[in-house]
Chain A
Amino acid sequence: MSRLANCTNRPKVIKALQRAGFQVHAGGKHAIITDAEGNFLSVIPNARQLNPYTLKAILKQVRLSEDEFVKQYR
């Protein structure tokens, strides 16, 4: 979990997901991740720091490997 524990800043997470080819829709109370065609994949909680477990669940949900995510996160 330590790898993801260092990658929990929400704006940066969103950037990383966008780089990995996902669309992020801001709206209402939550940002929403969809694939390139706009199919719903997951919600991103509205908190500055994401809990590592939350992040892990999101990555699993959008089917992005942790390695790939960490590479895109900067």
Chain B
Amino acid sequence: MNYLFSTKTVAGLVDASVRQVDHWVRTGLLKPSAREASGKGSRRRFTFVDVVAMKVISKLRERGCSLPKIREAVRYLKKQYPEDSDSRMLAQLTLLTDGKKVYLLTDERQIMEVLTHQHVWSLAIGQIITEIRSQVEALSTEWTETVKVGGAAYHLIVVRDGETGTFTAQCKELPGAIEQGDTAEEANENGKEAIRSALAFMNKRRTMGARRVQAG
């Protein structure tokens, strides 16, 4: 379960709009653990734990909790568990909400208020995790890996086919180098071999192939 998710994918998974997710991140409610965006054009990357935390926020919103209240709760939790990252914290705790306020169910099975009294809904995190996991399994995801071949760095675009669960790797710099595998690691290794094969072939031929491939 070490895929990385884009903002768009996350939004789809947690039933929120891209703008909502973007807003939550921009206003510092939750940070993407894998990679943060900076400037123009760089992309955020979320981990699975982030997605679960996002889902928690989304569910709280669904039940009528206002964003300032959620923010307040997250701030409080941060103070209580300073060693945990935001996402891990939200993904591990059981939170309760009555639609106005957020409550925390502590390990001692007591209801400790995060803000004030009364409780109604509980968010079963375990259930959320299972739910998202099965959604993720069915997802066709795509990400980029950097590999070294003969001292040079290449980028492999890895696509996971949601239907069969197998992987395809294609080199960004050498789009003719295409490979596949039953696992992401296998696709990676095969991708490297494909780059080697492609380079060897082009070197042998000394054709204009390289330029043509880049133009394609």
Q: Using a CB–CB distance below 8 Å, which chain A residues touch chain B? A: 1, 5, 25, 27-30, 32, 34, 37-45, 47, 50-54, 57-58, 61, 63
Could you say which of A40, A45, A47, A50 contacts B201, with CB atoms under 8 Å apart? A40
Tell whether B212 is near chain A: CB-to-CB under 8 Å.
yes
Q: Closest B-chain residue to A42, C-beta based?
A: B176
Q: List 20 A-B contacts (CB under 8 A).
A: A27-B197, A32-B197, A32-B201, A34-B209, A37-B207, A40-B201, A40-B205, A42-B175, A42-B177, A43-B178, A43-B179, A44-B178, A50-B180, A51-B161, A51-B166, A51-B167, A52-B163, A53-B168, A54-B179, A61-B178
| Chain B residues packing against A (C-beta within 8 Å) | 140, 159, 161, 163-164, 166-168, 170, 175-180, 190, 193-194, 196-198, 200-202, 205, 207-210, 212-213, 216
Contacts of B208 in A (CB 8 A): 39
Minimum distance in angstroms from A27 CB to a CB of chain B:
7
Complex CA gap A50/B213 in Å reads 22
Name the contact of B161 in the complex, choosing from A27, A44, A53, A61 (C-beta under 8 A): A53
Instruction: Give Cα A63 to B161, complex, Å.
Output: 22
| Contacting pair B201 A25 (CB below 8 A) | yes
For B178, give its contact among A5, A28, A34, A45 (CB under 8 Å): A45
Do residues B210 and A45 form an inter-chain contact, with CB atoms below 8 A? no
